[in-house]
Amino acid sequence: MGGKNKPLVSICIPHWQVRELITPCLRAIRKFTQNIPIEVIVVDNGSKDESLPYLRSLSWIKLIERGQQTPENWVEAFITALDLGFENSCGKYFAIMHTDTFVKHPLWLERLTEPMDKDPKCAAVGAWKLELRHPVYEFTKKITDTKKAKLWLRRNLFGDQSARQLKRELCPRDYCAIYRAEPIRKFGLRFREENRWRGYTAGEQMYYQLKENGYRAEVIDTAEMMKYMEHLAHATAGLRPKQRHLNHRHAQKKSERKLRRFFDSPLIKELMEDESLDHELVETAL
């Protein structure tokens, strides 16, 4: 999709045998990215199903197959795939996405790159969450959360001083975030910074490292971000419960219900039917 021009944005998508998700994910990028030169890098984490031949058939993506080199832990596989994708990218900006993130607005990438175009010290853009929850739900979840109590017991009964909740700042989450590539290369930053940021997500680890080096992030409001894309949290677990089952039965069932509604939506039905988005190359220009 970058044509003969050097891509302005490199988009990296780690993948593991979810043909049902990667197909509409990639097609949505093709459909709704019209004015910005991009390259799409799919890092496959050892898929053994029909999704791998499908990805090999797409001439407009850069496919990296890790095969048996993929870490067994799926979280580790995801985070290290981002670093591998970055090493093989050449864009001014580096965007990361989950396979269960689907763009739906033709100006999605313009919205993400705009803050960095305006401010050279802005090096990360995205949203914290992509789901609006009712205040009653949030309150109920807070008062029924036993995590703090369990951590308190571990600290006071067993002397485990590491049993503390991580302090988190609002920053772009890795379901869809974009970064300025230059400081990542300049300072040798990595999404998998295992020595200092254990327990934080890939997006958080990169944000804190960029912040340490004098850069800032712009966090887009959830309601605004939802105009540009959808994110089906835990969709892989909903599709592959035997391999990626969620710890809570209620969360697992909720994920499976969301998936059923999602695949019945007009946009996804349209994307699944439009095979031309796999094969017709469309030149883009700045």
- Helices 202-212 and 74-87 meet at what angle, rounded to 10? 50
pLDDT at position 136 is 45
pLDDT in tens, 19-31: 999 999 999 999 9
Instruction: Tell the CATH superfamily of the 9-128+170-279 domain.
Output: Spore Coat Polysaccharide Biosynthesis Protein SpsA; Chain A (3.90.550.10)
Report in angstroms the alpha-carbon separations of 142 from 44, 136, 146, 182, 255: 37, 10, 9, 40, 20
Q: How far apart are CA 81 and CA 170, in angstroms?
A: 24
| CB 5, CB 47: distance < 8 Å | no
pLDDT at position 286 is 37
| CB 95, CB 223: distance < 8 Å | no
pLDDT in tens, 234-263: 676 666 665 555 555 666 676 677 788 888
CB within 8 Å of 82: residues ≥ 6 apart: 12, 14, 43, 96, 174, 191, 192, 202
What is the distance in angstroms between the CA of the first residue and the CA of the last residue of the chain?
12
Which regions of the chain are under pLDDT 70? 1-5, 130-166, 234, 236-252, 254-255, 280-286
Q: How far apart are CA 78 and CA 70, in angstroms?
A: 9
pLDDT at position 285 is 39
- pTM equals 0.84
Q: CB neighbours (10 Å) of residue 63?
A: 16
CB within 8 Å of 2: residues ≥ 6 apart: 37, 38, 39, 284
Domain ranges, ordered by start, for the chain: 9-128+170-279, 129-168
